[in-house]
Amino acid sequence: MANPDQRGRQELLYFDDLHAGQRFTSGTHRIDEEEIKAFARQFDPQPFHVDAEAAKNTLFEGLVASGWHTAAVTMRLLVESGLPVAGGPVGAGGEISWPRPTRPGDVLQVESEVLELRPSRSHPNRGIATVRSETRNQRGEVVQVLIAKLVVPRRSAAAPAPDAPSRDAVVHDVASP
C-alpha cells in the first residue's frame, strides 16, 4: 500500500516500485437515483437506467446504473485514491465485465491487485502493469471487474529517488494463481 504524503495524498508509484500481488483500495462513492438517471439520459438512455417505473418490468426488476456509469465512477476512484501510479492509470487495453448491477444507494469502492509486470522492450522508460480492479458495493458484492494493461513510467525515467532500485534491476513476471 502506498503511504500518504503530507497533503494526505498517496505517493506516486513507478513501474520499479510495483510488484505482483500488490493491492490498493480506493475511497468510496455513493450512487443515487438522480445521478443514475442523469448519466443515462446523456450517455445510455435505456428504460432500466432512466425510468424507475419502466425498469420494474425488465430483467433488472428496478432502476440500475449503466455499466458505463459504473466504469466512469471506477475510473474516478482509481484516479483520485485507488491506484497511485505516476502519470495516472493510462490504459493500453483490457477486459471489463459487470457481474451484477449497480443500484441506487450503492456505495462503490475499488480493490485493485497488480497481476503482472512486463518491462517494455521498445521503450525502456516504461513498462506494462496488468491490474485487476474489482468494484464492490457496500455489501461486498462485485459489480464490475476490470483487467487493464496500464502503461507505467519507470522511476529511472524520472528524477532518481534516493532508495530507487538500480536501472539494471531485473523484474520477474509472476503468474497469478
Tens of pLDDT, residue by residue over 55-76, are 999 999 999 999 999 999 999 9
Pair 127, 171: CB distance under 8 Å:
yes
15-157 in CATH: which number? 3.10.129.10
Record the pTM.
Answer: 0.82
The per-residue pLDDT for range 11-47, each reduced to its tens digit, is 899 999 999 999 999 999 999 999 999 999 999 999 9
